[in-house]
Structures are given as structure tokens and as C-alpha cells.
Structure 1
Amino acid sequence: MSMPEQPPRPRQLAFDLPVDSRHGVEDFLIGPSNEAAYGLVEAWPHWPDAWLRLVGPEGAGKTHLAAIWAKRAHAWTVSAREVLDAQVPHLVSGGALVVEDCDGGLQDEAALFHLMNAVKARSGHLLLTARTAPDQWGLRVPDLLSRLRLAPEARIEPPDDALLRAVLVKLFIDRQLVVDTGIIDMLALRMERSFAAARTLVDLLDRLSLERGRRVTRPLATEALEHLYAEE
């Protein structure tokens, strides 16, 4: 007597749900590539100037480190596009401010220059995040460019092997995925060496794992790598 055929396993749908990315000081992973930047940010309020530029590649942890400082300094956080001349008095009223993505296209360069002056006049502090140095921002106000060039810089470099592995582990934990250390080692060896690539890779593996209804295996990890780097 033949057994009835089992219905095919339903395919799970992957939704873009928010990921629990914790930005506490205990969640910031420190290695040779970011320890100098971390130390300089943590040195507040004993900064060499009223402002500090935090520079690093996409996904390097600038927002995380800025959030750590913002909590300590009771600072507000705004994007560079929100820095407008009419808002400067309000923005400096808190005494400490984070301005993120300064190389993402400033709406009002003169407003940022006035903001820096106002912060210093009030003995406040300003943390500016960007992926690149000011010379690459396409600035048209010479005084602003000159001031930003002279501002102290905290730089986050691309991760070393140990930090890249640690970042992968943290990203998987944030998504509640359990992955063997051997798979972590294989991913770190074959992937692009950047924080942004780690986030993209883990996002893809999370989606594939959910769609297939199985854990992250070596074949699934290999498939994700081939998908991301097929053109290389």
C-alpha cells in the first residue's frame, strides 16, 4: 500500500522587519581599526576643540559611536540636511549636538558655519560624522572648508580579521540567528572587508534562511557569497 504524498512545505515569506541593533557602549566592538576613534570620542569633554569630525566608511559604526557620545553628553542628533540657518539658535540651545552624514549633501553650508561658531561661543560641543574628509564634500564656502579641515578627526578604518568576525557574530545575534564558527570564518575569509559588506551579507542570509525555512548552513552561506560577488 503506497503512502499518500506529503504536501510540499509552504515557502516562508521574508518581511523587512526592524532589526534590534543595540547602540549601547557595551555593544560597541573595539579593535585596532576603531580604538583610536573610540578613545578620542570617549575623551569628551576634554576634546582638543569644540568640535570633532568622526570619519569612516559606510557601516563602520559611526552612528553607534555617535549615539554613545550623545547619551553621555545629552546631545541631540540631527542629519546634515536639517541644519538650516533659521534652526541654528535652537540646535545650539542644548549645548551638545551630533550632525550626521555631513558628506551626504548639506542644504545650507553657511548654516553649518554659523552653527560651529555658535557652538564654540556657548562653550558647547559638536560631533560631525561623515564617510570622507571635508575636501571631498564638494563645499563652496571657503571659510567652512578651512574650519573643517582644522577640526580634530577621529577616523575608523576598515576592520581587521578579528573585528570582522566579531561584527558578523554581533549581526547574526541581532537577528537571533545561530551560526557555526566555521561558517563565520569562511564568510570573513571570502567576503569584502568592510562593515557595510558584513551587514549586507547577514541581511541576505537572514532572508534566505527565513525563505527556505532552515538554519544558516555552509551551502547557504556559499550561495549568498556567490550571489553577492557573482560579477567579480
Structure 2
Amino acid sequence: MPPPYRQLALPLPVADGCDLADLLEDASNAEALAWLRRPESWPAGRLALFGPAATGKTHMLRGLAARRGWPVLPGLTIRGWPAVPAGEGLALDDADCVPEEAALLHLLNLCAERGQRVLLAGRDPPARWAVTLADLRSRLRAMTAVMVHPPGDALLSALLRRHFLLRQLRVERGVQDWLLARLPREAAAVAEAAARLDHAALAAGGRVTRALARAALVELPGFGPDGEEEDAPPFRDDGFTDGPTLL
């Protein structure tokens, strides 16, 4: 008897643009998105997004940069006298990780001279960054900063559905609720879970079930312990019905 058929899982790219209009909004990010929609109103042309890891700061930063045509600079690369691309503005991710204070001060001063807007993202508000240069400290303290909070239930549910839709992965609503009750409450964890489930479903040649999800996500950091799965409370998202919705 021939061995059972198994579909080969290929690392195909998933289309997931960073356009600002595609970002999902809830109470956790509404204030930040409101500011991002009107860069012309930023005091002194600068805005900083801050908050815990995996709350969507980088996605929002890249979304605005893509819409406005701004370059995105990674903070860890800013050293010496950095080359700052000319243009309307620029975005600096992990701005609190710039290894040289003088390099960040030069970047901010040069953008101010040119009239370029600057969007920064980091874990803490700029006023609390540990800097020693007095000029840099004063500029950071004067900067408008907006917190991005951990996502709420409705946003996490919508994110999971979006990732499944992008991957053309059909998942029953009951399985989605079961997953959301056990996944870490982070956008990055939801995205990683969807990727692992997609790979596992392709390899198995079947649909996403609780058993497949348990096996595929057992090594995902923060996923609910197997011994507590059946007793865990269901994930609630009052914006949708309890029926067996398929994507």
C-alpha cells in the first residue's frame, strides 16, 4: 500500500502590506493612529510612539512611512554622522536603541534644519531615555509622545482572522476562540501562530483542528499549557456571533 499523501509545505510569501489605512484600530492604538493621520500637526514636526514590545509600534511606523514615502532607519545603525535622506520626513525604529547619543542628536538637528518631520518608536517615552547629552535630553523631553497599549480582545480576534484570510486558511470560529484563549496577548504571537498553523495544515493536507493546533504551537513561547487547555475559559469577542464561522 502506498504511503499516505502529504502535501509539501513551501515557504510562500504572504502579502501583508503596511499601508496606514489597513491598520486595525481599537482603544489600544486609537490615539496613536489619530496622530499618525495628521503629521502636519506634530509639534516641532516630531512624534514618538512608545509602549511594550509586540503592540504594533513598528507596524504603525512603517505604515505611515509607506504612505508618505519616508525612509525607515533602524536605530541600531545610527552612528557617527549618519547620512539622513532628504525628503518630507523619516521614521526611526528602535530609536531608544541608538548606540551613540551624538548620532541621534545630529539626526534630530539636521531634520530640524531641513524642516523634515521625524517619527520615532521605542519602548519608553523619550523623556525617560537614559541620555547624558544635555542638548539631546532637552529635545527628547520636549517631544510629543503617544503610548501604544497592548491590543484588546476585539483587535486580537480581528488580527487572527486577517492572518488566516491572507494565508487563505479556513479555520472554524470555535477553533479561533480556542486559540485566542491560549495565545499570548501580543500581535506578534498571533502572527507567528498563524504562520505555524498554515505550515502545519499544508504539511498534513487537512484543516486546522484543535489537535493540529496543539501540536503545531506546543513550542510557541507563551502558548497555554496542554494540561489547562480544556478548562480554560473561552475567548470572548462580543462583536461576533458564536456560530461556526469560516474564513
- Pair in the same fold by TM > 0.5: yes
- Give the match for residue 48 of structure 2: 53
Q: Relative to structure 2, which stretch is displaced further, 188-197 or 34-43?
A: 188-197
Tell me, in whole angstroms, the C-alpha distance in 1 between the residues paired with 2:88 and 2:79.
17
Q: Relative to structure 2, which stretch is displaced further, 219-228 or 39-48?
A: 219-228
Cα offsets for 1:166-221 (capped at 9, x unmatched): 01111112222121222222211222111122122112212211221212123222
- Give the match for residue 98 of structure 1: 91
Tell me, in whole angstroms, the C-alpha distance in 2 between the residues paired with 1:173 and 1:167.
10
Tell me, in whole angstroms, the C-alpha distance in 2 between the residues paired with 1:30 and 1:216.
27
Q: Are 2:175 and 1:183 aligned?
A: yes
- Give the match for residue 198 of structure 1: 190
Task: Give the letter aligned to residue 208 of structure 1.
Answer: A
Task: Give the letter aligned to residue 82 of structure 2.
Answer: Q
Secondary structure at the aligned position of 2:121 is classed as strand
- Give the match for residue 234 of structure 2: none
Secondary structure at the aligned position of 1:45 is classed as helix
Alignment of 1:1-232 (within 5 A): 5=1, 7-88=2-83, 90-91=84-85, 93-103=86-96, 105-134=97-126, 139-228=131-220, 229=223, 230=225
- Give the match for residue 231 of structure 2: none
Is the 8 Å Cα contact of residues 93 and 120 (structure 2) preserved in structure 1? yes
Under a length normalisation based on structure 2, what TM-score does the superposition of the two structures give?
0.79
Distance 1:152 1:218, change over 3 A: same
Identify unmatched segments of 5+ residues in structure 1.
none
Secondary structure at the aligned position of 1:190 is classed as coil
Tell me, in whole angstroms, the C-alpha distance in 1 between the residues paired with 2:6 and 2:123.
39
Task: Give the letter aligned to residue 101 of structure 1.
Answer: D
Tell me, in whole angstroms, the C-alpha distance in 2 between the residues paired with 1:8 and 1:50.
64
Offset, 1:140: 4.7
Under a length normalisation based on structure 1, what TM-score does the superposition of the two structures give?
0.83
Secondary structure at the aligned position of 1:186 is classed as helix
Distance 1:95 1:85, change over 3 A: farther
Tell me, in whole angstroms, the C-alpha distance in 2 between the residues paired with 1:223 and 1:55.
35
Tell me, in whole angstroms, the C-alpha distance in 1 between the residues paired with 2:163 and 2:42.
31
Tell me, in whole angstroms, the C-alpha distance in 2 between the residues paired with 1:82 and 1:65.
20
CA RMSD of aligned residues (A): 2.5
Tell me, in whole angstroms, the C-alpha distance in 2 between the residues paired with 1:142 and 1:8.
70
Count, aligned residues: 224
Is the 8 Å Cα contact of residues 98 and 127 (structure 1) preserved in structure 2? yes
Tell me, in whole angstroms, the C-alpha distance in 2 between the residues paired with 1:67 and 1:226.
31
Secondary structure at the aligned position of 2:16 is classed as coil
Tell me, in whole angstroms, the C-alpha distance in 2 between the residues paired with 1:38 and 1:180.
31
Identify unmatched segments of 5+ residues in structure 2.
229-247
Secondary structure at the aligned position of 2:82 is classed as helix
Cα offsets for 1:55-111 (capped at 9, x unmatched): 2333432233223322443322111133334334x43x21311111223x3243211
Identity %: 37
Offset, 1:146: 4.0
Task: Give the letter aligned to residue 50 of structure 1.
Answer: G
